[in-house]
Structure 1
Amino acid sequence: MPEYWEIKNKYTFLEMCKTPEIAADVTMLPVDLLGVDAAILFSDILVTAEAMGGDLSFEQGVGPRFSNPVRSHADADKLSVDCVDKLQYVAEAIKVIQQRLDGSIPLIGFAGAPFTILSYLVEGGSSKDFKRTKLLLNNEPELAHKILQKIADVTVDYLNMQIDAGVNALQLFDSWALALSWNDYRDFSHHYNKYILSKIRRTVPVISFCKGSSVFAPMMAEAHPDVISVDWNADLKNIKQALPEGIAVQGNLDPFVLYADKKVIKDKIHQLFERMRGEKGFIFNLGHGIMPDIPFDNVKFAIETVKEFRY
């Protein structure tokens, strides 16, 4: 959105996240310009890692960077778990956003899941192959579990803080779970996601997402989320019908469809709705995040197509 870049060009990314009024401004942009059915808190999954002691920066065209990666027991010992006070700016942003929304639509808060946060801390930033992270899991599993438990405890406090501040739903993002084998996902990801969902106050619905949910959904269900968000690699109806009663699904349009002609966008959305016709507990969404250069008009058209569809 040009309106987003007008703000982005004036501040660093972290300044935007840490200034409640600016975070609220950015949160409201898609609400006001796209007419979406829910607002999503403007923040970043890595704010918990920064609060724990990570020296976080964002480089244009590169992404997040930690100048002090965590790769030893000494590094892990330095990670703070009593750090939710450092994240109060998120609670303040939630309160400002809710004042602006005034009950019109729900606000979704979120946090990064422990494995995904671990991968950034260990790699020192983004990674294509997660080599250092996988070496840690294989060669030093005790150290990996030590770090993951610390992240999980912080995440529980952080999500409870968001609930207290007034979010209407929460989403746990495990963006890089697809890098893991089934057993490693079970031991180093699912175990901690399940712990988090068991410890937070379940007074609002909780959505569980991982890139790889088309594979891991049966295990994800064991953590008892209210919703499982599904990537675009699976048939959504098959996933839904294989899940326990009472767990909704969210998804699962391939975001790259939004680059296509509008006729294609409409056809793909209608195909998904027709496939899910008659299913209870279905939230239309993309199968992962949106790319920055997708035409704004195409996104707006997709949302209008969704709103116009009638079962």
Structure 2
Amino acid sequence: MSTQVTTSPSGQNGQTEYKIPNLKNINTWKQTQWPKLKNDLILRAVNGDKTDRAPVWVMRQAGRYLPEFLALRADHSFFECCQTPTLSSTLTLQPIQRYPLLDSSIIFCDILVVPQALGLEVLMEPQRGPVLPSPLIDPGHLTRLKTEVDVEKELGYVFEAITMTRRKLEGKIPLIGFCGAPWTLMAYMVEGGGSKTFEKSKSWLYKWPEESKGLLKRIADVCADLLIGQVLAGAQLLQVFDSWAGELTPHQFQQFALPSLLHISHKVHHVLSTLGHPSIPIILFPKGVHSPQSLRLLSDPKITGYSALGLDWTLDPVEVREIVGMKVALQGNFDPVVLYGGREGIEREVERVCNRWKLAGGGWIANLGHGITPGVKPEDMGWFLECVHRFSKR
């Protein structure tokens, strides 16, 4: 199915054409019977409802701090794990099986599958992390990218993993699908990997602003189709990771990052509505975005399409709530390093941060302010979850 649909998204002027992606289950998702959900705490919190305690999950909760993860990875490459549904599902469920206090699961995958789908090679090197051997040097290199991406063909393994995992969860907790944000993905595609200065990717914004916007839009289309496919496959909640948003000036965030973020959320909501699918909440994690100007732009879900904002650990929830108001739910924002603080240190900090969130009010999803790091002891993660359950009660 490849149909042009026209809409005028909330908060935008003029008409925007959205193409419904070619997906295997585009017409069959209604016939799927899912186990009844037993814990909907995160879904209520993301919609701004007051909950008896904060639901809690942790970014990168399926990862290298778990011995069972390392045991499986010993026989499989990183992207093999991402691209093999049985492996992805197994890794997704490992923390759920270990920690019954988690209120959500998130599919094991990586944001860089989108550059792969666009035609770039992405490697995961043990000492360097993600490496793109042939980055985009200048706009002349855009011809190397696919003009049309068949997400079913290129990323169908994600959808298979979602469906498999949703069934295996047996309704215990919801399943989160995700993608990277266009600016963050563009930075990887131009830098050739991670960066401390972002000289190459940010220079694109100064030298070639229109070409940069075109690239961001192209990435956003694939991201939106990936999220739509995940929802139809069984994801109950979505998150967009803009890990490098804080590298931009407030002006650059508004001019470059924000339009592509809005394109994703508006397309996802519109296409799902066109297909008759119930609304799915989306969390945006714009790490490092601290300016009141930028935060206010993200404060109204009816305009942005994002029900919740993830905060990094350098923000105070009370101050953020004063800026954004009560319409948008918030997620975060424990310092990831608190998990190295020992039982007393973890307990003390969790109590302090929970008290700040209670003062802030509104919908709150407890999480770290970034992903859990590999050196964390599994028992300390478990203690952190116990403390959140205890101190976030309202």
- TM-score where L is the length of structure 1: 0.96
1:64 aligns with 2:146: no
Per-residue CA deviation, residues 171-205 of structure 1 (Å, 9 max, x unaligned), is 00000111111101111111110111111126211
CA distance in 1, matches of 2:108, 2:256: 27
5+ residue gaps, structure 1: none
Select the residue among 92, 96, 100 that pairs with 1:31: 96
Deviations 1:90-136 (A, max 9, x none): 00000110110011100011000000000000011111111101111
Q: How many residues align?
A: 311
* Mapping for residues 100-179 of structure 1, pairs under 5 Å: 100-179=168-247
Name the counterpart of 1:287: 369
Q: What residue number does 1:84 align with?
A: 151
Report the AA paired with residue 26 of structure 1: L
- Is it true that 1:254 corresponds to 2:338 in the alignment? no
RMSD: 1.4
Deviation of residue 234 (structure 1)? 1.5
8 Å contact kept, 2:287–2:310: no
Q: Which residue of structure 1 aligns with residue 19 of structure 2?
A: none
Deviation at 1:221, TM superposition (A): 2.6
- Identify which range, 58-67 or 193-202, moves more after superposition: 193-202
CA distance in 2, matches of 1:237, 1:45: 30
User: 2 CA distance for matches of 1:237 and 1:74?
Assistant: 46
Deviations 1:220-252 (A, max 9, x none): 235241010011111112212322433100011
Instruction: Please give the alpha-carbon distance, in whole angstroms, between the structure 2 residues aligned to 1:104 and 1:128.
Output: 40
2:120 alignment counterpart: 54
Residues 245-299 of structure 1: CA deviation (Å, up to 9, x unaligned): 3310001111111111211111111112112226220111111111111222111
CA distance in 1, matches of 2:134, 2:219: 16
Alpha-carbon distance in 2 for matches of 1:284, 1:241: 19
Range with greater deviation from structure 2 (294-303 or 15-24): 294-303
Match of 1:2 in 2: 67
Give the corresponding residue for 1:266. 347
AA in 1 matched with 2:280: V
Equivalent of 2:282, from 206, 211, 216?
206
Query: What SS class does the counterpart of residue 167 from structure 2 fall into?
Result: helix
> What SS does structure 1 have at the residue aligned with 2:298?
helix
Q: Could you list the per-position Cα deviations for residues 143-189 of structure 1 after superposition, in whole angstroms to 9, with x for gaps in the alignment?
A: 21121111011111111111111101000000011111110111111
Distance 2:232 2:322 in 1: 34
The 1-side partners of 2:209 and 2:330 are apart by: 32
Task: Please tell me whether the aligned partners of residues 240 and 248 of structure 1 are also in contact (alpha carbons under 8 angstroms).
Answer: no
Q: Does the residue aligned with 2:322 lie in a helix, a strand or coil?
A: helix
Tell me if structure 1 keeps the 8 A contact 2:245–2:257: yes
Are residues 264 and 164 of structure 1, via their aligned partners in 2, closer, same or farther at CA, if it must alter by over 3 Å? same
**Counterpart secondary structure, 1:277:** helix
Alpha-carbon distance in structure 2 between the residues aligned to 1:141 and 1:171: 27
Moved more, 146-155 or 206-215: 206-215
Deviation, 1:39, is 0.3
Residue 13 (str. 1) matches residue 83 (str. 2): no
Which segment is superposed worse, 33-42 or 111-120? 33-42
Letter in 2 for 1:31: I
Cα contact 2:331–2:366 (8 A) shared by 1: yes
Aligned twin of 2:50: none
Letter paired with 1:20: P
- Give SS of 1:305's match: helix
- Name the structure 1 match of 2:387: 305
* Counterpart residue number, 2:60: none
Amino acid at match of 1:10: D
- SS of the residue 2:373 aligns to: coil
The one-letter code matched in structure 2 to 1:183 is H
Query: Please, which runs of 5 or more residues in structure 2 have no aligned partner?
Result: 1-65, 273-278
- Give 1:138's aligned amino acid: Y
Q: Is the 8 A contact 1:87 1:158 kept in 2?
A: yes
Distance 2:286 2:365 in 1: 16
User: Hey, what's the Cα distance between the residues in 1 that align with 2:289 and 2:194?
Assistant: 20
Give TM-score, length-normalised by structure 2. Answer: 0.76
Counterpart CA distance in 1 for 2:356 and 2:131 is 41
* Equivalent residue number for residue 297 of structure 2: 219
Contact 2:190 2:201 in 1 (8 A): yes
Q: Which has the higher mean CA deviation after the structures are superposed, 78-87 or 21-30?
A: 78-87
Kindly indicate whether structure 1 or structure 2 has the higher relative contact order, using CA contacts under 8 Å at least 6 residues apart: 2
